[in-house]
Structure 1
Amino acid sequence: MKHLKFSVIAGAALLALAWVSTSRNMGTDWFPLRSGEVTTYDVRYNEEAVRDKETWTLRTRGPVSWQGHEYMQRHHSQGVAFFLEVSDKGVRRVAHQTDLDREPLADEVPQWVLKAPYTLGTEWTTTTVPYLLMRKNEHPRELKHSHKAQMSWRIDSVNDSVKLRSGEVLSPCLHVVGQAFLNLYTDPVNGFSDVPLTSHEWYCQGVGLVKFTRTEKVPPGFMTGGELVAEQVR
């Protein structure tokens, strides 16, 4: 009986050690990457975007080997996995793989997700596509397959706080702001217009990305834009 009791305790201890091992943070304090962790976001759109609310789920696994290196992988419920490299320079995406791809596809240029140093004023650029801009009467309606823009990012605050819909307040958080412009023929009156694409991201210490907003406003005419707000469900 004593032997059985010892075995149960030892087994529980081994399981606990295994959990500590697999849940070790392979990222940073602002961008944790723990293998096996599942993060869920509640996504809502404004009326202009004309979309139903969604739920996004991100699953973290790794380290995974690819081309002789190890990366952490984040799989998005919309059907794509991102390969992330973490260094003292920050977190950047080096490849992606859709659920239909047999092998990962290297990004033409690795894209910073969150660049160090994590201090006020740190800046970087990435390539982005429009998430919300839609043609009213042409097909395909979405512009994300045909248009790209360079988005400039900046850490705007290092001690922000975020209040979620649940009422929970998280702090301290990095507030990161992104701004890009797409030059589009929006209507006969305005002709070509620089349509702003604006993103806000909040990364809270020990938690990671807790809130994300994207606004794409376009003059009335040939296209529609909108706004989305994604918040982590806790």
Structure 2
Amino acid sequence: MSLRLAPAVLICCALALSVLVAGCDRAPASSDYFPLASGQHWTYTETTERDNGQRSQRSLRLDNLGQDRLDDEPAWHRYSDDGMHYWLRSDDSGTYRVASRFELDEFYTPDATRHYVLKQPLSVGTSWQADTAPYLLERAQQFPPEIRHSHPAVPMVYRIEATDEAVDTGAGRFEHCLRVQGVASLHLYVDAASGWKDLPLITREWYCPGVGLVRLSREEHTASSFVTGGTLTLDLQSWP
């Protein structure tokens, strides 16, 4: 989940087709690994561990709300209970987000280009680029402290690193999963002693056939007391 997190984010995400489709000799669709069908939902435990020792945990639920019409074309609507709405489409090129809206906004914001969640072919080495934001980095003496407000669009390169991994989660063990890694670098003035630094933003996401996203980890670390980061994880607890 190329993460807008909501981690990302969120995260973020959704498409429907079961892996148990007749004609299993076909190449797997990205929608097999990112179900969007109406009525499906996922509950995760979201854990944040900050570099300053603070730790928090909460439950996060994602719901597929069915199809809407965006620009006279169908798009799958997904809602996260942190207040974010997303619209996605899927075709032979992959599954991609086309618009988003925060709950308090009046209108949705269309993506200027396709914001891929998973890109075809679903094989090791497939890569793509999408914007992300720093979800964990905060300045100690600034309001608002979140750096994502000043750096909302950081280019991240995603790559499929594995296609047959097993993942243990709170919802059970899943097999034959894709592992996607995203890597970005944020050039940021950290403090007077450190000056400008290239801070790594690293995302790892596991997508399993017929289920979707089962685990996500996001790492944003610094060695400064003026800018703090940390690690965020999502772990699937129940579905559908």
TM over 0.5: yes
Larger helix fraction of residues: 1
Task: Give the secondary structure class of the aligned counterpart of 2:51.
Answer: helix
Q: Contact conserved, 1:186 with 1:221, CA < 8 A, in 2?
A: no
Report the secondary structure of 1:144's partner residue.
Answer: helix
The secondary structure found in structure 2 opposite 1:52 is: strand
Contact 1:95 1:110 in 2 (8 A): no
Q: Do the aligned residues in 1 keep the contact of 2:185 with 2:200 (CA within 8 Å)?
A: yes
Describe how 1:18-33 pairs up with structure 2 within 5 A.
Answer: 25=17, 28-33=31-36
The 8 Å contact of residues 95 and 105 in structure 1, kept in 2 or not, is answered as yes
2:125 maps to what in 1? 121
Whether 1:158 aligns to 2:163 is yes
> Identity over aligned residues, as a percent?
35
TM-score (norm 2): 0.83
Determine which structure has greater relative contact order: mean sequence separation of CA pairs < 8 Å that are 6+ residues apart, divided by chain length. 2
* CA distance in 2 between partners of 1:64 and 1:84 (Å): 10
Post-superposition CA distance 1:165-217 (Å, at most 9, x none): 46x22101000000000011112222111000000000011110000000001
The answer to whether structure 1 residue 141 and structure 2 residue 140 are counterparts is no
Q: Please tell me whether the aligned partners of residues 45 and 228 of structure 1 are also in contact (alpha carbons under 8 angstroms).
A: yes
C-alpha spacing 1:111/1:51, structure 2 compared with 1 (3 Å): same
Moved more, 92-101 or 199-208: 92-101
| Partner SS for 2:125 | coil
Q: Distance in 1 between matches of 2:92 and 2:183?
A: 25
Query: Are residues 1:80 and 2:84 paired?
Result: yes
When the two chains are superposed, the root-mean-square deviation of aligned CA atoms in Å is 1.7
Q: Is the 8 A contact 2:16 2:31 kept in 1?
A: no
Residue 65 of structure 1: how far off its partner (Å): 1.2
- Is the 1:186–1:223 Cα contact (8 Å) retained in structure 2? yes
CA shift for structure 1 position 24:
6.1
Deviation, structure 1 residue 100: 2.0
- Equivalent-residue separation in structure 2 for 1:218 and 1:89 (angstroms): 36
Q: Which amino acid aligns with 2:86?
A: F
Change in CA separation of 1:231 and 1:55 when aligned onto 2, cut-off 3 Å: same
Q: Which runs of 5+ in 1 are unaligned?
A: 1-22
Shift of 1:108: 2.2
> What is the aligned partner in structure 1 of residue 186 from structure 2?
182
- Normalising by structure 1, we get a TM-score of 0.85
Residue 64 of structure 1 deviates from its aligned partner by 1.2
Q: Distance in 2 between matches of 1:28 and 1:110?
A: 16
Q: Deviations over 1:129-167 (max 9, x none)?
A: 00000001121100111113110000000001111146x
Secondary structure of the residue that 1:28 maps to in structure 2?
A: helix
Query: 1:43 aligned to 2:35?
Result: no
Cα distance change, pair 120–24 in 1 and its aligned pair in 2 (3 A): closer
Give CA deviations for 1:78-110 in whole Å, capped at 9, x if unaligned.
111101011011010111122223332211222
Distance in 2 (CA, whole Å) between partners of 1:184 and 1:153 is 21
